[in-house]
């Protein structure tokens, strides 16, 4: 299992969760910014990409070795 790719996946998930929470806080405080929706979309995309990387690494570890 390539631990570098797994670490990147975990960091992408953490970054994505942070961006989504930041977006929610901006919307909650009624400070609708110019890039608020794009920030949330990048956060969701980051989480999805991190999950895909981790699933791929787990499949390689469990079924290829």
Q: What is the pLDDT of residues 25-34, one digit of tens each?
A: 888 887 777 7
Contacts of 58 (CB under 8 A, 6+ apart): 1
pLDDT of 22 strictly over 80: yes
Measured between alpha carbons, how far is 18 from 65 in angstroms, rounded to an integer?
34
Answer yes or no: are the C-beta atoms of 43 and 27 closer than 8 Å: no
For the CA atoms of 1, 3, 57, 17, the dihedral, rounded to the nearest 10 degrees, stands at 160
Measured between alpha carbons, how far is 3 from 47 in angstroms, rounded to an integer?
18
Sign for the CA dihedral angle at 27, 29, 31, 33 comes to negative
Q: What is the pLDDT of residues 27-65, one digit of tens each?
A: 888 777 778 888 889 999 999 999 999 999 989 888 886
């Amino acid at each position: 299992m390539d631990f570098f790719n797994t670490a990147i996946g975990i960091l992408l998930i953490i970054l994505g969760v942070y961006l989504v929470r930041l977006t929610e806080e901006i919307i909650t405080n009624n400070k609708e910014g110019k890039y608020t929706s794009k920030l949330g979309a990048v956060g969701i995309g980051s989480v999805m990409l991190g999950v895909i990387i981790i699933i791929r690494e787990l499949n390689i570890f469990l079924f290829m070795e």
